[in-house]
Structure 1
Amino acid sequence: MKLLQALFFPPEQPGGVSSMVPYLQERFMSPRWEMELFSIPKRIRNKGRDKVLFDTFDWRQYEQYPVVQKYIQTYRDYLWWTRLRIQKSFDLIHAHHPIAGIAMKSVFPDTPLVQTIHSSYEKELILNGKIEEGGPEHQFLVSLYREMEHKADRLIAVSHSFQHYLTPYVQNPQDISVIPNGYDEKRFKPIPHENEVAQLITVCRLVPAKGLDILLKACAELKKRNQNYVLHIIGDGPIRPELEEMARQLDIYHETIFYGYTLHPEEFMPFFDVFVLPSRAEAFGSVFAEAALSCLALVGTEVGGISEQIEDGVNGLLVPPDNPKALADALEKVIADPAYRYELARSACDKAKSNYSLSRAVNELKKMYLKFPH
């Protein structure tokens, strides 16, 4: 069976898709399976000139808005690059981004399409203050879910929470499959270690949706309570300067290390003690599974896929979003009691190996792919 995994970003980019899809390839290399990856390079800009029409809604009612204009042009560019680069046929295409799926079906209308939706771009834009909830750009972006449903032969969400989120925007939500991302266990090597001072780590894009302002306030509260820690922030993004300034104003700059973007954080994640990320929204939260496989204690918010990964008090701690005091209380529990911290970390690692292994994801995908004629 000849498979094409259609990404948007190149596979070395950070994020849930890149945590899984490039590692699928070696698992599918056998006489029975042949798999290729496809993505659009960042340098491709303003090449596409196609007239764009969707089957389920008229996007032109939103065409005066810059977010919509950029999205449509990116879709045109993806179409242009697909036609230029793909010269062979496939038995099935599995797309991992809305633009990739809709474009692939336009170019290869007779090829079965499986579409995984990994995140809610519109929700992130709202939380990051880029668009208004219920506004025209929001309406355009959520209309794409119905278009994806129409185009795809199978729609997949990465968590039950995200499946529920999609319900108002599609015609048959009961037909959406749920397959969480899988992670290659060989990439994660927990290391026995004892840090005299608790080492907290977070890995994310530095944008408002990730709630790092709440994390810094919680850490300031920890300092007031005389709890010793070091906070390591891995990632980059538009709000880095204001986060650094906030750390100074809260008098925790010396306890906080900003690393910027790092390609493979899982290589040194096992040396830390606690993974914490107080996201305001998360379709799945891949980095929690990666931290669990690195045998870190998990502290997260009761949102989206995070609350499916963490059972509060069993394999991590959950707190409400936008609540610095609750986050400080949870962090204090794991900082002050290393034995409890280790117990949570072991449970998190066991659950992640069981529920989020690459082997499990591969088996589920193979069963799904084989349902299509080839």
Structure 2
Amino acid sequence: MKLLQALFFPPEQPGGVSSMIPYLQERFNPPHWEMDLFSIPKRIRSKGTEEIKFHTFDWTEFGDSPVVQKYIQTYRDYLWWTKLRIQRPYDLIHAHHPIAGLAMKQTFPETPVIQTIHSSYERELLLNGAIQEGGPEQRFLTSIYRELEHQTDEMLTVSRSFLEYLSPYVDRPGEIQVIPNGYDEKRFKPVPHDNEVAQLVTVCRLVPAKGLDILLKACAELKRKGHSYVLHIIGDGPIRPDLEKMAQELGIYEETIFYGYTLHPEEFMPFFDIFVLPSRAEAFGSVFAEAALCCLTLVGTEVGGIAEQIEHGAGGLLVPPEDPAALAAALESVILDPSYRYALARAGWEKAKREYSINRAVHELKKTYLKYYP
């Protein structure tokens, strides 16, 4: 079976889809399986000129929006690159971005296309303050889900909670299969260590949706109570200057280290103690599974896929979003009680190995792929 994994970002992009897809190839071995990866280089801009039409809605109703215009031009560029670069036929295409799925089906209408929805672009834009609730951008982007349902042969998503989010925007939500991402245990594994001071780490893009302002306020409360810790923030993004200023104003800049963008955080993540990320929304939250496989104690918000990964009080701790006091209390409990912290980490590690291994994901994907191969 000749498979194409159609990504949007290049495979080396950190986190999310790239935590799994590039590592599938070694598990889909010839002669029964052949797998290629495809994505659009970042340098491809404004190359496509093809007229865009959807079957389920008229996108031009939203065409005055710069966000919509950019999305449509990106779709044109992906179409242009696809037609330029893909010459060989495939038995099946698995797309991991809406633009990839639509472009592949338009280019290869006779080839089965499976579409995984990994996250919600419109929800990210809303949380980051880039678009307005109920505005043309949100209506356009949520209309894409029904178009994908109409165009592709099967839709998948990565968590039950995100399936619930998608359900109002499609006609047949009961046909959407949930297959969480899988992670290679050779890349994410525990390293024995003993830190005298608790080491907190978070790994994410520095945008409002990740709730790092809440984390800094919680850490300020920890310091006010006299608790020792170091907070490591790995990642970059548009609000980094604001977060650095906030850390200074809260008096915790000395306890906080901003690393910026790091290509392979899994290489040193196992040496920390507690992974914390108070996201305002997550379709799945890949970094929690990665941290669990490194045997870190997990502290997150009870939203989206995070709440499916963490069993509160058994495999980590969950707190309400937008609640610095609750987050500080959760962090305090695992900073002050190392035995409790290690027990939570161990239970989270065992669950991640059982439910989020790449072998489990491969097994589920192979069953899905074989439905389309005679």
Per the TM superposition, whether the score is higher than 0.5 is yes
- Counterparts of 2:357 and 2:182, CA distance in 1: 5
Shift of 1:15: 2.2
C-alpha displacement of 1:14: 1.4
Q: Deviations over 1:219-267 (max 9, x none)?
A: 0000001110000000000000000000000000000000000011111
Match of 2:225 in 1: 225
Q: What is the match of residue 359 of structure 2?
A: 359
User: Percent identity, aligned pairs only?
Assistant: 75
Structure 1 Cα separation of the partners of residues 175 and 365 of structure 2: 16
1:151 counterpart letter in structure 2:
Q
Range with bigger deviation, 27-36 or 237-246: 27-36
SS of the residue corresponding to residue 186 of structure 2 reads helix
Cα distance in structure 2, aligned partners of 1:270 and 1:15: 16
Q: Residues 92-111 of structure 1: CA distance to partner in whole angstroms, max 9, x if unpaired?
A: 00000000000000000000
Task: State the shift of 1:191 in Å.
Answer: 1.0
In the alignment, the residues of structure 1 paired with residue 117 and residue 22 of structure 2 have an alpha-carbon distance, to the nearest angstrom, of: 17
Per the TM alignment, residue 274 of structure 1 is displaced from its structure 2 partner at its CA by 0.0
Q: Which contiguous aligned blocks of 4+ residues in structure 1 show a shift greater than 4 angstroms?
A: none
**1:369 to 2:365 alignment:** no
Partner of 1:11: 11
Q: How does 1:32-181 map to 2 (within 5 A)?
A: 32-181=32-181
Q: Distance in 2 between matches of 1:373 and 1:190?
A: 39
C-alpha distance after superposition, 1:46-75 (max 9, x if no partner) = 000000000110000000100000000000
SS class of match (1:182):
coil
* SS of residue paired to 1:168: helix
SS state of the match for residue 187, structure 1? coil
CA distance in structure 1 between the aligned counterparts of 2:58 and 2:309, rounded to whole angstroms: 38
Match of 1:202 in 2: 202
Matched to 1:265, the amino acid is: P
Q: State the match for 2:326 in structure 1.
A: 326
Alignment partner of 1:185: what SS?
coil
Give the length in aligned residue pairs. Answer: 374
> Paired residue for 2:304?
304
Letter of the structure 2 residue corresponding to residue 103 of structure 1: A
Instruction: Give the drift of 1:373.
Output: 3.0
Letter in 2 for 1:315: G
State the AA in 1 paired with 2:166.
Answer: L
How many angstroms apart in 2 are the aligned matches of 1:41 and 1:177? 30
Give how far 1:192 is off: 1.1
| Unpaired runs of at least 5, structure 1 | none
Say yes or no: does 1:215 pair with 2:211.
Answer: no
Structure 1 CA distance for aligned equivalents of residues 330 and 364 of structure 2: 35
TM-score normalised over the length of structure 1: 1.00
How far did 1:16 drift? 1.1
For 1:82, what is the secondary structure of its paired residue? Answer: helix
What SS does structure 1 have at the residue aligned with 2:67? Answer: helix
**Structure 2 counterpart SS, 1:305:** helix
Query: 2:191 maps to what in 1?
Result: 191
**TM-score, normalised relative to structure 2:** 1.00
Q: Structure 2, unaligned stretches of length 5 or more? A: none
Aligned residue for 1:312, secondary structure, equals coil
